[in-house]
Amino acid sequence: MELLPSNRRPDNSGALIPTDPRAVAIRQQYGELPDFCNKFGLTAQRHCAKNVEKAIRNGVPVFASIVRTYGEDGVAGLIGIHITDAILRMGEDREVDEYDVDFIAHAICESERFRLLSMASILRFFHLLKCGEFDIYGKVTPRKILEAFRKYAIDQQAKENRIAYEIEKEKKAQADEEARRNAISWEDWATSQGIDPKIGLHGWMAQKFKEAREARIPKKTIAEQFVEWTTRLIQILSFIDDYMKSKNKE
């Protein structure tokens, strides 16, 4: 039986957001929509299922970026092929309904539940579906497949989050190690900056703090200084005059 793509007209232009840097990067890596479909076709399912972590580490885009880059209808056509193949492998040859396939494919593309999964995890679901990993009995319906996908997505997203966390930990450890290797001593740095190393780091910081504090104090003009000194002189003369008067009274 012929595999049934989405019954909507695919957006083969793949140009929903041609100027978006992420879309440009995805097209540069995977090509236009036909090339992308070839790379993530049926033959890629098993490989993706076994190498999700490797795919994430290699930067395979999340599903939402794929949909935004190639268009919902175009990606739904590819997903429809995977759905049809899975249904056929599940022994429902005569029960394939192209409208059901189209509905499932677009529901997957539109859902917020699946948008952050990597494309490798999306294909892994269809591989597991064909292998009987989900309890789907009787007639295969859109509801049964979507319910299985939702349950799968919750668990798979948690796994991807753990992988992303480990990747960030590794990157931070590498950055810390690189910083440690490139670090220089206080003496070498101070000498390169023309600072006397003998004052020590704390002494230098205290000096810089003092300079910064003094710099924040507004400087007085000559006129303001003249008034200040004149006032002080008058206060001194007044004090002397009062003192002399008190002495004369004695």
Q: Is residue 181 part of a domain?
A: no
> What pLDDT does 47 receive?
93
Q: Is residue 4 part of a domain?
A: no
The residue whose two tokens read 């005569």 is 94
Which amino acid type is present at position 15? A
Residues 124 and 207 in one domain: no
The parent domain of residue 192 ranges over: 186-216
Question: Higher confidence at residue 77 or residue 206?
Answer: 77
Write down how long the chain is: 250
Residues 59 and 164 in one domain: yes
> What pLDDT does 7 receive?
42
Q: Is residue 152 part of a domain?
A: yes
Residues 122 and 191 in one domain: no
Longest C-alpha distance within the chain, in Å?
A: 129
**Distance in angstroms (rounded) separating the CA atoms of residues 17 and 77:** 19
Residues 101 and 158 in one domain: yes
Q: Is residue 221 part of a domain?
A: no
Residues 209 and 116 in one domain: no
Q: Is residue 35 part of a domain?
A: yes
Half-sphere exposure of 140 (CA within 13 A, CB side): 27
- Give the contacts of 238 (CB within 8 A, at least 6 positions apart): none
Residues 165 and 102 in one domain: yes
Q: Is the pLDDT of residue 11 over 50?
A: no
Helix (H, G, I), strand (E, B) or coil at 6: coil
Residues 76 and 192 in one domain: no
Residue pLDDT, tens place only, 204-213:
778 878 877 7
**Distance in angstroms (rounded) separating the CA atoms of residues 249 and 102:** 114
Q: Where are the beta strands (DSSP E) in the chain?
A: none
Q: Is residue 13 part of a domain?
A: no
Residues 49 and 155 in one domain: yes
Residues 107 and 68 in one domain: yes
pTM for the whole structure? 0.65
Residues 157 and 206 in one domain: no
Find the mean pLDDT for residues 104-121: 91
Residues 53 and 165 in one domain: yes
Residue pLDDT, tens place only, 143-178:
889 999 999 999 999 999 999 999 999 999 988 888
Number of domains in the chain: 2
